[in-house]
Amino acid sequence: MALAATFLGNARSRLLPASIPFRFFGAAVAFHLLAWLALLAGAAAAPSFAGGLGLPLAALHLVTLGVLVMTAIGASLQLLPVATRQAVGSPRAMAALWWCYVPGVALLTTAMALAQPWLLAAGAAVVVLALIGYALLLARNLLAAKGMALVVVHGWAALASLGVLLVSGLSLAADYHGHGIIDRASALGLHVAFAGYGFMALLVLGFSYILIPMFALSESPAQRPAWASVAAAVSALVLAAMAAFGTQPAALWPAAIGLGLAALGVHVALMVRAQRSGMRPKLGRPFVLVRIGWAGLAASLMAALALALDARFARLASLFGVLLIGALLSLLLGMLSRIVPFLASMHAAGGKRGPPLPSALTAERPLAVHFGCHLTALALLLAAVAFDSAGLAQAAGAVGAAGALAFARFFMLACQRMQAVPALVPPPVATRRV
């Protein structure tokens, strides 16, 4: 047994230190709570929100930058070496990234909430600096990638999207001082399309080709349709960029959305098949959230199509935003509630009894509370937009905050249980002959 324990110690030493992914996940958990609280405080303006400084914009960016991008960074730092067989960077560089990004997001969202353009410019500059650092780590890793070309191509497409969203985001921030480098409407179109469907969705879709088969214990999805899916997604983004800059928007927006729907449809079909054919087809509540996320992404594209076709509904832009952000949030929280206990098990020492079981490191009750609150809050928010009701938005904020607290409890329990496992005393011999 001591031999096994030693070997597991060696395996762990090749993982990132637990503090790296867990600090990003921990920050995401905290920003998740703050996002719902910001919605609660800014509920009066939320249902008809269509841009502009204030609490709804702060709530939106607490979710996008604080939860979605934060989780994506933490997960990609841990998962990329698995896919590309290359280290992403030194733990010190990753810790520095966290120390730059987290205060940047805090400053930026505070400035948005207080409607302070100069503070906002400073916060945006820090966030952009941190994301450039992340982009460099990502690019260096992808350049040296060995194998898993499908995941690598998703990574490159996400990286290119990150570039577009940073430039468009900076332009939008500078526009509050009259110095936008891109026309505001174009910058907004680019920012939304490349943040939601470019950077975030492509990263999630790419990593899903590892994560879903890994959790379901199934064969890898068929390669040819998977390549067709990513090709359609990238083509959709190119068309969206052209449309955002005013090239035949009436034709190109619907075409981009149609390609996006096709890409998503193929991806979801592959993932569902992988899940059903695996040794562990039942993946529990977290994967209900993942499935809701997929459905929400499709619904957001339908709302985007209605926007492109000038459908008559006053709060369509708000509805689109809630569907897109709600979908991505459901997807990522579903994935995170599976990843955290699994990672905690890999990082926990385990002593002579081997690593602790992932099931012993999770906490079903807080996850169940979060599941109920999350879905209720999203439904309330959709109803708030549909009926232009500040009261429903307020209720969504309160229920969402309760769910975020439950998710924070789950995360803290996993961390505590991981640290509670007794540390190893390394025996002198690590291997044996058989």
Partner 1 sequence: MNAEPATRRWRDGQGEHIDVRGLPPPQPLVAILRLVHEQGLAGGAVIVHHDRDPALLYPELAERGWWAERVDCAPGEVRLRLSRST
The site for partner 1 (CB under 8 A) is made up of 1, 3-4, 6-8, 10-12, 14-15, 82-83, 85, 147-149, 210, 213-214, 217-220, 223-224, 227, 278-279, 342, 345-346, 350, 354-359, 430-434
Q: Minimum distance between the CB of residue 161 and partner 1, rounded to whole angstroms?
A: 23
CB closer to partner 1 out of 311 and 430: 430
Q: How many CA atoms lie within 13 A of 103 on its CB side?
A: 9
Q: Minimum distance between the CB of residue 408 and partner 1, rounded to whole angstroms?
A: 23
Q: Minimum distance between the CB of residue 276 and partner 1, rounded to whole angstroms?
A: 14
CB closer to partner 1 out of 219 and 388: 219
CB closer to partner 1 out of 157 and 261: 157
Q: Minimum distance between the CB of residue 349 and partner 1, rounded to whole angstroms?
A: 12
In a 10 Å sphere around its CB, with 0-12 CB exposed, 13-18 middle and 19+ buried, how is residue 87 labelled? middle
Q: Minimum distance between the CB of residue 3 and partner 1, rounded to whole angstroms?
A: 4
DSSP string, 187-223: HHHHHHIIIIIIIIHHHHHHHHHHHHHHHHT-PPPPH
Provide the 8-state DSSP code for 279: S
CB closer to partner 1 out of 116 and 277: 277
Which residues contact residue 233 at a Cβ distance below 8 angstroms, ignoring those fewer than 6 apart?
Answer: 157, 197, 201, 202, 205, 259, 260, 263, 264
CB closer to partner 1 out of 358 and 397: 358
* 370, two tokens: 């979060």
Q: Minimum distance between the CB of residue 341 and partner 1, rounded to whole angstroms?
A: 8
CB closer to partner 1 out of 58 and 344: 344
Q: Minimum distance between the CB of residue 266 and partner 1, rounded to whole angstroms?
A: 16
Q: Report d(CA 30, CA 45) in Å as an integer.
A: 23
Q: Report d(CA 247, CA 239) in Å as an integer.
A: 9
Q: Report d(CA 67, CA 259) in Å as an integer.
A: 27
- What's the gap between Cα 273 and its chain centre? 23
Nearest to 123 by CA among 103, 101, 102, 107: 107
CB closer to partner 1 out of 148 and 244: 148
For 116-127, give one letter per residue: b (16+ CB within 10 A) or e: beeebbbbbebb
Q: Minimum distance between the CB of residue 196 and partner 1, rounded to whole angstroms?
A: 27
Q: Minimum distance between the CB of residue 227 and partner 1, rounded to whole angstroms?
A: 7
Nearest to 403 by CA among 374, 368, 363: 374
CB closer to partner 1 out of 149 and 181: 149
CB closer to partner 1 out of 364 and 388: 364
Amino acid at the residue 272: V
Q: Minimum distance between the CB of residue 257 and partner 1, rounded to whole angstroms?
A: 28
Which residues contact residue 376 at a Cβ distance below 8 angstroms, ignoring those fewer than 6 apart?
Answer: 399, 403
CB closer to partner 1 out of 149 and 251: 149
Angle among Cα 298, 211, 381 to the nearest 5 degrees reads 35
CB closer to partner 1 out of 224 and 282: 224
Q: Minimum distance between the CB of residue 331 and partner 1, rounded to whole angstroms?
A: 19
Q: Is 280 left (phi over 0), alpha (psi -120 to 50) or beta?
A: beta
Torsion, Cα of 376, 377, 383, 384 (10° steps):
150
